[in-house]
Chain A
């Protein structure tokens, strides 16, 4: 069965970096792109962008350029979200989701940034 399994919760200080992983299984990894979605406390879902798992090309949504980087390792069917220069307002649950339909989602990774 299709699964996206994300890495565990992170507690970071302002200015630090964090790398969240999303490991896919149950399908051919390069057939579907992977999206990243942010869910900040009390807010709605926000699309951050996606990475083409076939050629590794990332696309970033407005507001998620510069400090946010998507990458992947096809040998282990895993995509990564790295956030640098963390700010308290980056505190959120980050999800990965498969393809145009977002038909499968990871369980979410809580990133907490303290000042």
Chain B
């Protein structure tokens, strides 16, 4: 089965840059999507199709892709960015989606 691996946690000071990776275990890779989830709330889409940012999402959120790894970058981290972040992609063998293992971002 298709798997997406993320680091369990990332810690960053306010104003610094947080980078969260999401590695796929197989080629070819489909588009990746990123979600922010705060405690007790539903996830929110912050990046779609690897690099695109939905309207209303701050510009400090950006996405990139290289090979089978995609990266979510939060530039100039703010306290409100403290949350769990998940990547999501699809298995190219069928209409099956999978979420990454999730990364907790802590703002020191």
**Which A residue sits closest to B99, measured CB to CB?**
A45
Q: Does A115 make an interface contact (CB < 8 A)? A: no
Majority DSSP secondary structure for residues of B touching A: strand
User: When the two chains form their complex, are residues B86 and A103 in contact, meaning their CB atoms are under 8 A apart?
Assistant: no
- Other-chain residue from A46, A102, A105 in contact with B33 (beta carbon distance below 8 A): A102
User: How many interface residues does B have (CB within 8 Å)?
Assistant: 22
A contact residues around B37 at 8 Å (CB) = 45
User: When the two chains form their complex, are residues B99 and A103 in contact, meaning their CB atoms are under 8 A apart?
Assistant: no
Q: Does A100 make an interface contact (CB < 8 A)? A: yes
With a 10 A CB-CB cut-off, give which of B33, B49, B95, B97 has the most chain A CB atoms. Answer: B97
User: When the two chains form their complex, are residues B48 and A101 in contact, meaning their CB atoms are under 8 A apart?
Assistant: yes
Interface residues of A (CB under 8 A from B): 35, 37, 44-47, 50, 59, 61-62, 95, 97, 100-103, 105-108
**Which B residue sits closest to A4, measured CB to CB?**
B42
CB distance from B48 to the nearest CB of A (A): 5
Seed contacts A44-B99, A102-B33; 10 additional CB < 8 Å A-B pairs? A44-B86, A44-B100, A45-B37, A47-B98, A95-B43, A100-B90, A102-B43, A102-B97, A103-B45, A105-B42
